[in-house]
Amino acid sequence: MEEKTIAILIDGDNISPQYAEYIKSEAQHLGRIKISRLYGSISSPTVKAWYRVMPEQGITPMLQISYANGKSIADQALTIDAMDILHSGDVDMICLVSSDSDFTKLVYRIKEDGITVIGMGEKKTSQSLVNACDEFRLLDLIYNNDLKSQNQNKQDNAQQSEKNETVEVAEDTPINVPKLEAVLKAIKGYLDNDWENLAGVGTYLSKRLPGFDSRIYGYRNISELIREHENLFDLKTELAEDKVHQVVYVKNKRKNNSNKKKKTTNS
């Protein structure tokens, strides 16, 4: 399968450089980064904080001058470049890194031409922008969960406490981050008695529940989330057709009918 090419467009006026490594890592999991640019005003303190990070992460600065009333035109520059990239046909996917809902219409326009849009931003992002993107990564929740995992031991009680705390954080956000119970319900509704590819389940959740990310609930990935709920789901691993990679499958756990059989026998 041919690797997808990606363009990363960062709204530097509104995104902290502390997320730089996470932005690049998330994009690299999706394909090959072909374009990586940061837009912002040369006078913005947030943009200035990016100066050291951009060379380290291979980001090209696209800095703008404020022409009137100190208002930045960086958003316009990002939009123009996004449309140029769209019409060039050079990429399969655009990663828009911003929490600004003003980009919502741009996302819909890009998708009209069949280009996938992966959004990345903070929990303050409006639901309209989250819903517009094909998938959306909450950088601050991912960042905070990563810090917690580095500082906590792996005792069961500590892990459970971390998951509970993470859900509480999500309740106060503008984004309607789904509760874990809603995620499990969605998975059960998607599955039936047949085995389904676990990757397909993850894709379904991203589309069905905008803002979904296993790490928000304290799990490293969808596989770990489902394995932690073995009372609800069955998992199996098989060798892929290439005889090299492994594929994980999942289905709803069947209810135990042993009691019914006993009653039938006794009657």
Q: Which of 99, 122, 144 is the last residue of a domain?
A: 144
**Residue 153: pLDDT band with limits 50, 70, 90:** very low
DSSP 15: S
Question: Would you state the pLDDT for residue 170?
Answer: 39
The string of DSSP codes covering 111-134 is HHTT-EEEEEE-TTS-HHHHHHSS
Contact 169, 162 (CB under 8 A): no
**Residue 220: pLDDT band with limits 50, 70, 90:** confident
Query: Comparing 177 with 107, which gets the higher pLDDT?
Result: 107
**Percent of residues, the chain, with pLDDT higher than 90:** 42
Query: Comparing 110 with 254, which gets the higher pLDDT?
Result: 110
Question: Would you state the pLDDT for residue 174?
Answer: 53
Residue 186 pLDDT greater than 70, yes or no: yes
CA distance 243 to 224: 24
Asked whether residue 46 falls in the same domain as residue 101, the answer is yes
Beta-carbon-side half-sphere exposure of residue 77 (alpha carbons within 13 Å): 20
Range of the domain at 79: 5-144
State the pairing for strand pair 60-64/93-97: unpaired
Q: Which of 125, 144, 163 is the last residue of a domain?
A: 144
Length of the chain: 267
Q: What is the CATH number of the domain that holds 99?
A: 3.40.50.1010
* pLDDT tens per residue across span 95-121: 999 999 999 999 999 999 999 999 999
Question: Would you state the pLDDT for residue 163?
Answer: 52
* Sequence-ordered alpha helix ranges (H) in 174-251: 180-190, 198-208, 222-227
Question: Would you state the pLDDT for residue 61?
Answer: 96
Count of structural domains within the chain: 2
**Tokens describing residue 9:** 């467009």
Query: Comparing 146 with 106, which gets the higher pLDDT?
Result: 106
CA distance 204 to 50: 35
Mean pLDDT of 43-68: 90
**Residue 167: pLDDT band with limits 50, 70, 90:** very low
Question: Would you state the pLDDT for residue 219?
Answer: 84
Question: Would you state the pLDDT for residue 175?
Answer: 62
Asked whether residue 95 falls in the same domain as residue 206, the answer is no
CA distance 99 to 110: 17
State the pairing for strand pair 32-41/60-64: parallel
Burial 45-65 (b: 16+ CB within 10 A, else e): eebeebeebbeebebebbbbe
Task: Tell me whether residue 155 is in a domain.
Answer: no
Asked whether residue 131 falls in the same domain as residue 56, the answer is yes
**Residue 258: pLDDT band with limits 50, 70, 90:** very low
Question: Would you state the pLDDT for residue 13?
Answer: 93
